[in-house]
Structure 1
């Protein structure tokens, strides 16, 4: 083999080629699904969408998201990522632009549901796509770089959206219509370029040398889980397997934490005395700066040690601690506590997505990743509902964080039970969880696969 084809050189080349377009695609996806939060009052004034209708419409996105994720990922696995992701992106970009045509609750519900259905295949599709291109030891960092788009979009989304709302009256259109149109349009443009920006599989990458393609394909093939570790292949076996069910619950717990913080943060920042509009904007963005750190630091730690369980459990415990601090502390230190929670819940996600490939492969992995993602994102629907219901019953929005914190804590307990191969470190990676990594792998009866 050509000595120039080293794992590090191939990793850098693949990262430089694929991660930037995936990052941009996720930024646009996140903005197109969340920009509706900026126009709640405008929709109420202009088209009669009251708070209850707005809440239902905002949440119904996740119903469409949950329904179509699995078939979308199976199509991607069968026919390739670049054309399928481009098609999904084109459709949701046009739907995002069409949000400017909302004229009442009915059209609002329909467009939000369709937007969720169109975006359903994007995130689990990219998670699957990353497994095609990055060996297990690099997968956490790659997923973390991709998911850092969430923090970036959250930091820049409000200022950009606020500027576009300021175009009110231009061309006779309300500012909220301009926001939907001008944030959806770049998605359409990028979608047209995606087939040229992405490559379906390593063996098709002309931008890698033959030696580099061979090395990468060999490393990816070596990561396929041992037969003894793999979930049985039938649909019934997958959806009833205890490992898959635990993964579904843990991802649901992570998403509940995300939306609990997102729901409570504006009210908490509003309680801080002496903040003007600029100060409120900076305070609201601060947790997402820490989230960006989490999504880079925790996956790096996980990849470096080969330990998935420890960093994932740490991330969930940090989220719990931050949520509790958000309830108990005065406003300023409470915001600091939510920064800790954000570090945890966003850092947890790329580490979490390194786990399914340790027990799944092929079309089975494609469908199950989407199943986990769809179920977990129901937290986006239930999280705000639970927070609102608890506030209605107790009169305090902070009380809802106790419920959210309890669910996340339960997720941390479940993670403690992840004891299959690859959860506690690679041989030679050093002590993990107080014992040598070799010991825990021997106890599992298999070699580490992640």
Structure 2
């Protein structure tokens, strides 16, 4: 009977939230990384060097870092429905403004380069809190033993946005001259619009907590609240005691470094892969299709590896294997000149990067409880996402200095190796994720 209530309840919750959250994160991630495709024609118009582009692409994450923890604490107070809606609306407006960099630069008296930096900073402030807010939101609705697959479904929006977004972005670049606008401008305008629309939908669609879920029957609602309360109680003895304590906890800091390594590979590739592929001598349209391949593989890897981790009830080795594949694929690609073998290596790296992400987020949510959950998750995400600045910038800087991508790719692969070592040293207690015993 209990198993039937569990299956029915979690299926209802998953179908209510996960497709919608996938759609939201799809457009969020697309707005975050579409600058990589815009670069193919935008750099010439704005007079950006590779170093300047790498800095502008990455400075987003410095602003993101500063506002992550405050944003998650605010969301815990006002509820996901209001705060996620605010985030989506503001980032859609800022992302669309990227299309008007020359006009904004002229109006405020800055160069196009510095206006590019300014808008990327504003986009970081606008979007800060979205991802950790959703991870926190999922802990309010799904028991720990289900989280790898649930987070995997949600985060599948990352490779999906790049797989679908790559040919779409390439097609938008082809609108050069339509109504007097360059293609990169159309890219920012068109891809910002869904974020603004979804901001309004989110306000009316999300439910903050299970106690407010009038769309669940009373039995399901009572079961879910009791199960999550029991799990939270089980973690109290291993959790930091307060929001402030969570920010200084050694496990939070260690996991921040693990996430730094995984994200360095992710964003280093995301922002520069179109340029690497274009260097094979392909057209912009063909670059879009080839760019999609690693993300299609990463999409299926993320779903399958998360399901496998939940079935096995094992986290550490699943994460370690994924990080090893990321390091081997990304690092190995640096030494390959042939386009086909280089893409195979990068695809292996993409599988590893994306497979690691849903497994990773089961680790902090297995020991954080009560008031430590929201700030702890936000701290890990904010520190880890600093590599979103480091990865793109270091690749651009090294490319300007050496004329190639070799040592930039090796550097971000080394970050995955460090993450792998910390994962194995840190370990994980699977007991904290098991369903409560009958006595509990």
Would the TM-score normalized by the shorter structure come out above 0.5? yes
The separation in 2 between residues aligned to 1:148 and 1:141, in whole angstroms, is 10
Relative distance call for 1:53 and 1:419 in structure 2 (3 A) is closer
Q: Name the counterpart of 1:314.
A: 321
Choose which of 256, 263, 268 in structure 2 pairs with 1:255. 263
Task: Let me know the Cα RMSD of the aligned residues.
Answer: 2.5
The separation in 2 between residues aligned to 1:38 and 1:416, in whole angstroms, is 36
1:394-409 to 2 correspondences below 5 Å: 394-409=402-417
Choose which of 219, 229, 242 in structure 1 pairs with 2:238. 229
8 A Cα contact 1:5 1:215, kept in partner: no
Relative distance call for 1:306 and 1:369 in structure 2 (3 A) is same
Residue 76 (structure 2) pairs with residue 77 (structure 1): yes
The separation in 1 between residues aligned to 2:402 and 2:170, in whole angstroms, is 33
Residue 182 (structure 2) pairs with residue 174 (structure 1): yes
The separation in 2 between residues aligned to 1:26 and 1:234, in whole angstroms, is 26
Q: Name the counterpart of 2:228.
A: 220
Identify unmatched segments of 5+ residues in structure 2: 103-111
Relative distance call for 1:48 and 1:401 in structure 2 (3 A) is closer
8 A Cα contact 1:306 1:423, kept in partner: no
Q: Name the counterpart of 1:345.
A: 353
Choose which of 279, 287, 291 in structure 2 pairs with 1:284. 291
Choose which of 416, 427, 434 in structure 2 pairs with 1:419. 427
Residue 77 (structure 2) pairs with residue 68 (structure 1): no
1:363-378 to 2 correspondences below 5 Å: 363-378=371-386
SS for the counterpart of 1:417 is helix
8 A Cα contact 1:24 1:149, kept in partner: yes
Q: What do residues 362-382 of structure 1 show as CA deviations (whole Å, max 9, x unaligned)?
A: 332101111111111111111
Relative distance call for 1:423 and 1:35 in structure 2 (3 A) is farther
Relative distance call for 1:149 and 1:327 in structure 2 (3 A) is same
1:40-439 to 2 correspondences below 5 Å: 40-103=39-102, 104-224=112-232, 225-233=234-242, 235=244, 237-262=245-270, 265-266=273-274, 268-270=276-278, 272=280, 279-329=286-336, 330-422=338-430
Q: What do residues 86-114 of structure 1 show as CA deviations (whole Å, max 9, x unaligned)?
A: 01111111111222221222322221111
SS for the counterpart of 2:32 is helix
Higher normalized contact order (CA 8 Å, seq sep 6+, divided by chain length)? 2
The separation in 2 between residues aligned to 1:30 and 1:133, in whole angstroms, is 23
- TM-score, structure 1 normalization: 0.88
The separation in 2 between residues aligned to 1:270 and 1:162, in whole angstroms, is 11
- TM-score, structure 2 normalization: 0.90
Larger mean Cα displacement after TM superposition, 170-179 or 64-73 = 170-179
CA shift, 1:47, in A, is: 4.0
Relative distance call for 1:108 and 1:403 in structure 2 (3 A) is closer
CA shift, 1:402, in A, is: 2.2
SS for the counterpart of 2:430 is coil
The separation in 2 between residues aligned to 1:60 and 1:78, in whole angstroms, is 28
